[in-house]
Chain A
Amino acid sequence: GAGVSQSPSNKVTEKGKDVELRCDPISGHTALYWYRQSLGQGLEFLIYFQGNSAPDKSGLPSDRFSAERTGGSVSTLTIQRTQQEDSAVYLCASSADSSGNTIYFGEGSWLTVV
């Protein structure tokens, strides 16, 4: 597609339920990022995929969070047993390569845990 596409745009879930957030990067982009942004705050790095290399998972806040990227394209961020503090916008971004390239963001998935 022309840009980074994320779904769902908005998700309300009950505490304790699992959620899956999807990211479809720009075609041909080898690098893919997930960030989390709480209201009025900065972007918190979660995970980074680059080609076939092992992902950098250093930002995942707990073992309830996981992400995968199938076939080097679409990525899914899964949050198990959601908690209220997981409420945030989850932003996905992709770039053509690693260091030195502009990254392009999707519009984000707003998650509300009630």
Chain B
Amino acid sequence: SQQGEEDPQALSIQEGENATMNCSYKTSINNLQWYRQNSGRGLVHLILIRSNEREKHSGRLRVTLDTSKKSSSLLITASRAADTASYFCATDEKGAQKLVFGQGTRLTINP
């Protein structure tokens, strides 16, 4: 089964609102990454947070990591129509180098 599971599976909000997506995982990790996918093709890296970090910012993105709960959240502030996409979290388990992805959250920003 997939290591990461995103929640919710789909999210629809109005432009300008904030969007929050969550990711849970099962095993100890080295780091957690968030990716974005438009139109079912290649994914684009957004942000990486290491297991010893609790929060990280990049522009309108804020990522938190709670290793005690094995969960992470991605917050997109002041959403724009162009943020409409699928968002995936990915983890690499300690001792295993492969990167495992969750099922993704489909985000729709309504103008």
Interface residue ranges, A against B (CB under 8 Å): 4, 31, 33, 35, 37, 39-45, 48, 50, 56, 58-59, 89, 91, 93, 98-100, 102-108
Stretch at the interface among B13-21, B37-45, B70-78: B37-45
Q: Given the complex of chains A and B, what is the CA–CA distance between A107 and B44 in angstroms?
A: 10
Asked if A100 meets B30 with Cβ closer than 8 Å, knowing A31-B97, A33-B99, the reply is: yes
| Dominant secondary structure of chain B at its interface with chain A | strand
Looking across the interface, which residue of chain B has its beta carbon closest to that of A42? B103
Looking across the interface, which residue of chain A has its beta carbon closest to that of B31? A100
A42→B2 contact, CB < 8 A: yes
Which 9 interchain pairs have the tightest Cβ spacing? A42-B103, A105-B42, A43-B101, A98-B97, A48-B98, A102-B45, A107-B42, A105-B43, A99-B30
Q: Given the complex of chains A and B, what is the CA–CA distance between A31 and B97 in angstroms?
A: 10
Q: Which of A33, A59, A105, A107 has the most CB of B within 10 A?
A: A105
| CB<8 Å pairs between A and B, sample of 24 | A33-B98, A39-B40, A41-B103, A42-B101, A42-B103, A43-B43, A45-B99, A45-B101, A48-B97, A56-B97, A91-B42, A93-B43, A98-B97, A100-B30, A100-B48, A100-B92, A102-B33, A103-B45, A105-B35, A105-B42, A105-B44, A106-B42, A107-B41, A108-B40
A89→B104 contact, CB < 8 A: no
Q: Does B100 contact A (CB under 8 A)?
A: yes
Q: Given the complex of chains A and B, what is the CA–CA distance between A37 and B30 in angstroms?
A: 24
B88→A43 contact, CB < 8 A: yes
10 further contact pairs, Cβ within 8 A, besides A33-B99, A42-B2, A56-B96: A39-B40, A40-B40, A42-B104, A43-B88, A45-B101, A56-B97, A93-B99, A100-B31, A106-B42, A107-B42
Q: Given the complex of chains A and B, what is the CA–CA distance between A91 and B42 in angstroms?
A: 7
Q: Given the complex of chains A and B, what is the CA–CA distance between A48 and B50 in angstroms?
A: 21
Task: Quote the shortest CB–CB distance from A31 to chain B (angstroms).
Answer: 7
Q: Which of B50, B97, B101, B104 has the most CB of A within 10 A?
A: B97
